[in-house]
Structure 1
Amino acid sequence: MSATAVVTGAGGGIGLATAIRLASDGVHVLATDIKPEVPGLPSGVDYVQFDLLGGDPAGLLAALDGKPLDYLVNAAGLALFDRDGSVLDTVEAVWDATLGVNLHALRHLTVAAIPLLRSGQGKSIVNVASTAGIRGMDSPLDAYQVSKAAVVSLTRSLALQLGPEGIRANTVCPGAILTPMIEPLYIENPARRTDMEQRTPIRRLGMPEDIANAIAFLLSEQASFITATDLVVDGGWTAQIK
């Protein structure tokens, strides 16, 4: 019987690339996003529209029909670039929305999924954080940064608590990735993209598939001795002192 995964944020970007990658590896994927539908999903991916903020995680997981869960990938994320900024002047609603999606919804779904993971074989969780959660940014995006730092911390705690049961938990921390969330900023300001490419030692932006490949590795048996780790996938960006 093939492994089963739940992937959030599968309406585009990293979540979609991860769902496609896992399906290509023979994993049965329950993909979810707030979008009504996602055209062109491959065989092996079942899509369920779900609001992570307002929905009941148990209702989403019921779509597994009682099957054990092997992998959980929390890839859904929110960055309100036009409204987020310094904690000194960012409005409360931005903090509520950003932490609501990036941290609290992740927490709720993960807690609901743990009993299913306990009965699975893969027993692996990967949470998508960000290099912003482990390093500062040139311009503050404090609600986003804090939410992703919290994801890193929570994932480590889960890894320590669940490790004796054989359940692993890791984060992937992407750098500058060309996702639907960030692409409009580069379209509006092409110089911003050029600058980011030049600041990255590999001299390109990352693609969602780069992160999906890292996630697939951390989920796999090849990473069976890796837990409580933050895998930075940023083309060398954060290794620099500037």
Structure 2
Amino acid sequence: MSRTALVTGAGGGIGLATAQRLSADGCRVVATDIKPERPASLPDDVRYVPLDLRSGDLDELLSPFADGGLDHLVNAAGVAFFDRDGSALDADEAVWDVTLGVNLHATRALISAAVPALRKGKGRSIVNVASIAGTRGMDSPLDAYQVSKAAIVSLSRSLALQLAPENIRCNTVCPGAILTPMIEHLYVEDPARRTDMEERTPMRRLGYPEEIAAAIAFLLSDQASFITATDLVVDGGWSVQVK
């Protein structure tokens, strides 16, 4: 029997690439995103559920796994307000509310709701998508985003320890600069910004959602069966530099 997977943030970027990858690997995938329209590139065998994770019916979202259980949970949903986020010393409260609501609180709520199904699954693995922004400072602060991603890293570690006796693994992927719809428009508006980012990355290029999906698929797989509480950085070498 094929494995089952639930992927959030599947309306584009890393979430969409992950749903595509897991479907190609033979998983029965349920994908969700706040976007009402189904992504055209989502495989036909993937069930798409439009849902606002902050207020939607999580029990209904998890209903396909009620009997057979859930093997893999990927929390890739996230938001960033590059034009309104900034220093916590001059915070936009609405930005903080939405950013923490989507990136942290909705992730925590879904994990809590999904654990009973994971207990009945075979793969029993959670991967949360954070960011290198949650592990270090940034030249231009995006404090709400950074705090939300740092919290995801910490939450993942704590849950990994709590769930390890039940053989449920929990890991984090921390991407660097990835060409997702969330940031692509910034580079279209300011090509020099992309060039600068590429030149400052040791591999001299940006990453692609498919590369993050590959890392996620590995952490979910039986090949990673003894890996839990790990933060896997996928950033082309960016975060080890001394500036």
TM-score, normalised via structure 2 length: 0.98
Correspondence 1:97-176 to 2 at 5 A: 97-176=98-177
Query: Is 2:64 the counterpart of 1:29?
Result: no
CA deviations over 1:130-165 (Å, ceiling 9, x no partner): 000101111000000000000000000000000010
For the structure 1 residues 66 and 76, does the alpha-carbon distance in structure 2 shift closer, same or farther, using more than 3 Å as the test? same
CA-CA distance at 1:204 after TM superposition: 0.6
Q: Structure 1 unaligned segments of length 5 or more: list them.
A: none
CA deviations over 1:9-59 (Å, ceiling 9, x no partner): 000000000000000000011000011122232143111111111112112
**Aligned match of 1:90:** 91
CA distance in 2, matches of 1:223, 1:138: 34
**Aligned match of 2:60:** 59
Greater shift in the superposed pair: 69-78 or 35-44: 35-44
Correspondence 1:169-188 to 2 at 5 A: 169-188=170-189
Aligned residues of 1:159 and 1:168 also touching (Cα < 8 A):
yes
Greater shift in the superposed pair: 8-17 or 37-46: 37-46
CA-CA distance at 1:221 after TM superposition: 0.3
For the structure 1 residues 51 and 63, does the alpha-carbon distance in structure 2 shift closer, same or farther, using more than 3 Å as the test? farther
**Aligned match of 2:215:** 214
What's the secondary structure of 1:61's corresponding residue? helix
Superposition CA RMSD, Å: 0.9
CA distance in 2, matches of 1:178, 1:49: 23
Aligned residues of 2:11 and 2:39 also touching (Cα < 8 A):
yes
Aligned length: 242
**Aligned match of 1:237:** 238
| Percent of aligned pairs sharing the same letter | 74
CA distance in 2, matches of 1:205, 1:239: 16
Aligned residues of 1:26 and 1:44 also touching (Cα < 8 A):
no
Greater shift in the superposed pair: 46-55 or 10-19: 46-55
Greater shift in the superposed pair: 60-69 or 183-192: 60-69
CA distance in 2, matches of 1:225, 1:65: 26
Query: Is 2:186 the counterpart of 1:192?
Result: no
CA distance in 2, matches of 1:237, 1:72: 27
What's the secondary structure of 2:96's corresponding residue? helix
Correspondence 1:34-53 to 2 at 5 A: 34-36=34-36, 37-53=38-54
Aligned residues of 1:30 and 1:47 also touching (Cα < 8 A):
yes
Greater shift in the superposed pair: 18-27 or 61-70: 61-70
CA-CA distance at 1:65 after TM superposition: 5.3
TM-score, normalised via structure 1 length: 0.98
Structure 1 residue identity aligned to 2:83: D
**Aligned match of 2:79:** 78
Aligned residues of 1:23 and 1:43 also touching (Cα < 8 A):
no
Q: Structure 2 unaligned segments of length 5 or more: list them.
A: none
**Aligned match of 2:5:** 5
CA distance in 1, matches of 2:136, 2:109: 26
Aligned residues of 2:4 and 2:72 also touching (Cα < 8 A):
yes
Aligned residues of 2:65 and 2:117 also touching (Cα < 8 A):
no
Structure 1 residue identity aligned to 2:60: G
CA distance in 2, matches of 1:40, 1:135: 34
